[in-house]
Structure 1
C-alpha cells in the first residue's frame, strides 16, 4: 500500500486544558529498524490522555509537578495509546509479510525485554501515539488480530483499559469461585474488569450509579451496588462472607472504608485514583487478616499476550460508547471528561 509523506495528527503543544490540542499536518513517521508503520483505523481515548495533557501525574519527588505518564514530555506530542489498524510498512529486520495484516499495538514501553517486564512509558506520552493517520511501533509490540471477529473500534478499546484490567486481575490472583468487587464499573477499565472477572468464573459485584447500573449488569456483574449510597453496607448485604479481591480504580475514601470487607488473605488491587490519591486506612485490618494492597500499573507483555488471545476468540465484547472524527478530538476529550458514558470513546483518523 502507498504511504503518503504527510498526515493529519492531533498534538499536545503544552500542558493545559483542551485548548492545547492542535490539529496539524505533520510528516508521516518512517519505521526504524525493528519497527512497523501502522495505518490507524481507530484510536480509543483514555483518562491517561486527559491526565497527560494536563500534566497531572506528578513525580516521586513532587506530587504537584507537571508530568506525563512517567515523566516530562517532549512537545509537541501526538496523543493516543490505543491503536487498531493495518501494517502499512516495515523497517529493516522485520518480516515483510506483516504488511496488510490487521493489528493491535501494545502501547507500553517496558523496562526490560522479558515477558514479565513492567511498563515505564506509554505511547501517547513518552512516544508519539495514534491521534494520527499513522504511527510507528516496535514490531514485537504489534499483535496480529486479522482473524478476530471484533470490529476495529472494539479492538482499539482493548490495550489500555482491558490491558490494565487483566494486569489487575493477574496481580490480584483472582480465581474461579472467588468474589470480586469492581469500583468505577461503568468506565473503560471498570467494564473490562467486570467482563474479564466474569469470564474467569468469579462472582462479580460492581459499584456504579444511576442509569449506568443496568449497563454494568448487562456486561456481566452479578450484583451492582449504588455509588450514591454507603458502599460498605451494600457490599456486606450482597456478600455477607466478604470479598476475596477488590479491583479498584477509584481509591480515595473507599480504601479505608472498604478494607474491612476483605476476607482472610484478601487482595485490594489499585490501578487508579478517580476518588483521590491520598488514602488512609486502619493498618490492623491489613496485617491481622493477612490482606494485601497491591499497586497495578497497566500490564506486562505476558498479560497483553493473554488479552490478544481473548480478542482473537472474542471472549470479551467491548462496549463502544461514541465515535468521533479526528478533527473533533477536543469534543471527544470533553465528552470523556464528563464521565457520563458507558464503555469507550473512539476516534477515526
Structure 2
C-alpha cells in the first residue's frame, strides 16, 4: 500500500513516501479501515520533532517543525520512545475493509470515525490511554490502518471524508476540556489559540453549551472567528490582554479559561479567572514551561485540569454531536498523501483557521 513513513525524530526530511508497504493484517478484535481522509494535528509534529521530551523548553516554532532538533529529544506524550518506522496520522475516517478474528464480519463496509486513543480499561480512568494512533501504533497517513473494533465508530453523516477528518483529535480533545471544566449555560469562557483546530472546536462546542465566548488569537483571524460565532474577540498580542478581557467582563473575571497556548500567556490567563474559576488545558504551542503565581491558584480557589486524551465516552458523544450537525467542519484545505510535507509546512505557519487534511 501507499503510505508516508516517519523514519526517525527530526525535520520534514524524516517523512518518506513509499508504495511498497504491506497492507496491515487486522489482529484479533481489530478491523482494517480503508482510509478516506486523515486530519493533520499538532501531535504529529510534536512526536516527529521530539517536542514531548522533558529537555525541550521551547515552543514548536516553524524553524523547529521544519528542521527538527539536534539535542536527541525523543520521548512521546507518554514518555516512552516512539519506534520507527512509524506511520503517523491520528484523525482517521474511512470504511471497514476487513476484520480480524473475533470481530463482527457484518461490520465490513461500515463508514467509521476512528477514536485515536487505544485504552486499557483495567487501568484507572485517567490513565487508560496506552497507545495513540500515529504515535505508539501506525496511523492514517496511508491507504489502510488496523485499529481495535471498539475504536471504529459508525458515523452517519452527509459530510465528506475530508470534512469528517477535521473532527477526531481536535474536537474530542475540546469536548473533554469543556466537560472536565464543567462549562455550563450562561457562563463566560476565554479561549486561547482560538483559530487553531482545538480552538475552533472549543468555540463551537462552548456555543452549543450556551456559553458566552471570548476568542483570543492573532488579529488577522478576528473576522473568521466572529463568523464562527465568537461573541467577543481579543488580539493575543495586544500587550494588555488581561485589561481588554476585564473591559468585557469586569474585574470579576471569566468562569473558564480553555488554553492551548501556555508559555508566557499562562500567568496572564490565570489572572483573568474569577474566584472559583476553572482552567483547562490540552496544549502548549507557546511553550511548555511557564511561571505561576501560586497566590492566584490558592486565594482564588481555582480548579485546574490537564487533558492528554479524551475518554471513550467523550468520543462517543462527539460522534453523536457530529451526526446531529451541531458543529461545522472547518476544512481549510485537503492535500494528497504525497504532499504531507507541504501540508505540515503550512500547518507550522499558523496562518490558517481550522484544519488541514490528507486524502490518500
- Would you say the 8 A contact 1:82–1:156 is kept in 2? yes
- 2:196 is aligned, of 187, 190, 195, to 187
- Would you say the 8 A contact 1:257–1:281 is kept in 2? no
Give CA-to-partner distance per residue, 1:203-253, whole Å, 9 cap, x none. Answer: 010101232111111112111101120211111111113100000000112
State the shift of 1:200 in Å: 0.6
State the shift of 1:106 in Å: 0.4
Which residue of structure 1 lines up, in the alignment, with residue 154 of structure 2?
Answer: 144
Which residue of structure 2 lines up, in the alignment, with residue 41 of structure 1?
Answer: 36
Alignment pair present for 1:331 and 2:339:
no
Q: How does 1:1-349 map to 2 (within 5 A)?
A: 7-24=1-18, 25-59=20-54, 65-70=73-78, 71-112=80-121, 116-118=125-127, 119-145=129-155, 147-229=156-238, 230-240=240-250, 241-349=252-360
- Would you say the 8 A contact 1:45–1:80 is kept in 2? yes
Cα 1:62–1:46 change in 2 (3 A) is closer
SS of the residue corresponding to residue 2 of structure 2 reads strand
In 1, the alpha carbon distance for the partners of 2:104 and 2:325 equals 27
Task: Report the TM-score when normalising by structure 1.
Answer: 0.94
In 2, the alpha carbon distance for the partners of 1:100 and 1:150 equals 17
- Would you say the 8 A contact 1:16–1:55 is kept in 2? yes
In 2, the alpha carbon distance for the partners of 1:128 and 1:286 equals 40
- Would you say the 8 A contact 1:116–1:301 is kept in 2? no
Which ranges of structure 1 fall in alignment gaps of 5 or more residues? 1-6
State the shift of 1:169 in Å: 0.5
- Would you say the 8 A contact 2:3–2:141 is kept in 1? yes
State the shift of 1:62 in Å: 8.3
- Would you say the 8 A contact 1:40–1:86 is kept in 2? yes
Give CA-to-partner distance per residue, 1:234-276, whole Å, 9 cap, x none. Answer: 1111111310000000011222122122112100111111111
State the shift of 1:181 in Å: 0.5
RMSD (CA atoms): 1.6
- Which one is further off, 67-76 or 30-39? 67-76
- Would you say the 8 A contact 2:31–2:149 is kept in 1? yes
Cα 1:72–1:267 change in 2 (3 A) is same
Which ranges of structure 2 fall in alignment gaps of 5 or more residues? 58-70
State the shift of 1:305 in Å: 0.8
Which residue of structure 2 lines up, in the alignment, with residue 3 of structure 1?
Answer: none
In 1, the alpha carbon distance for the partners of 2:192 and 2:154 equals 32
Task: Report the TM-score when normalising by structure 2.
Answer: 0.91
In 1, the alpha carbon distance for the partners of 2:164 and 2:121 equals 26
In 2, the alpha carbon distance for the partners of 1:177 and 1:319 equals 25
- Would you say the 8 A contact 2:277–2:301 is kept in 1? yes
For these two proteins, the number of residue pairs brought into alignment is: 341
State the shift of 1:84 in Å: 0.3
- Would you say the 8 A contact 1:149–1:314 is kept in 2? no
